């Protein structure tokens, strides 16, 4: 398989948990094939980077996806996926000074632009 790189742009968390779970489920499935991928969290998606927040999302409707906390753990601990947090979203979503999950790092939108120059994007 040709070496491909992806960036998953995730806009949702508590507002559309099934969308967030679907994105993370697809990413986990792709990582099983040793594909290089990372997440860039924007808008409500940034809340997933706040330590402990994923455990509060309990209202997923689709039973075909693993629960968000389990997916997040698999991606960060088993697959070492990075979660980049949009710097412009930190203050509006109350993440200033918050403890972040493993592999989370705050980056400006220009970092996403750089990633898009060398990766395929998948947006949710």
Which domains, and CATH codes, for the chain? 5-123 (3.40.1260.10)
Mean pLDDT of the chain: 93
Mean per-residue pLDDT, 26-35:
92
Kindly report, residue by residue over 36-54, the tens digit of the pLDDT.
999 999 999 999 999 999 9
Q: What is the pLDDT of residue 65?
A: 78
Q: Cβ(29)–Cβ(79) under 8 Å?
A: no
Q: Cβ(107)–Cβ(87) under 8 Å?
A: yes
CA distance 64 to 84: 26
Q: Is the pLDDT of residue 73 over 70?
A: yes
Q: Cβ(51)–Cβ(99) under 8 Å?
A: yes
pTM of the model: 0.92
Between 102 and 65, the more confident residue is: 102
Q: 82-88: long-range contacts (C-beta < 8 A, 24 or more apart)?
A: 82/38, 82/39, 83/38, 83/39, 83/41, 83/48, 83/49, 84/38, 84/39, 84/40, 84/41, 84/111, 84/112, 85/41, 85/46, 85/49, 86/40, 86/41, 86/42, 86/43, 86/46, 86/112
Q: Is the pLDDT of residue 1 over 60?
A: no
């Amino acid at each position: 398989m040709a070496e491909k790189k992806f960036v998953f742009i995730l806009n949702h968390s508590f507002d559309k948990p099934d969308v967030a779970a679907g994105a993370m489920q697809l990413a986990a499935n792709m990582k099983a094939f040793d594909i290089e991928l990372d997440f860039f969290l924007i808008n409500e998606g940034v809340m997933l980077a706040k330590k402990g927040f994923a455990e509060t999302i309990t209202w997923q409707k689709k039973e075909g996806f693993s629960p968000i906390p389990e997916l997040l753990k698999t991606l960060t601990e088993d697959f070492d996926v990075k979660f980049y947090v949009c710097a412009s979203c930190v203050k509006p979503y109350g993440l200033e000074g918050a403890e972040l999950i493993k592999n989370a790092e705050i980056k400006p939108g220009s970092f996403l632009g750089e990633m898009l120059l060398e990766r395929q994007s998948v947006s949710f």
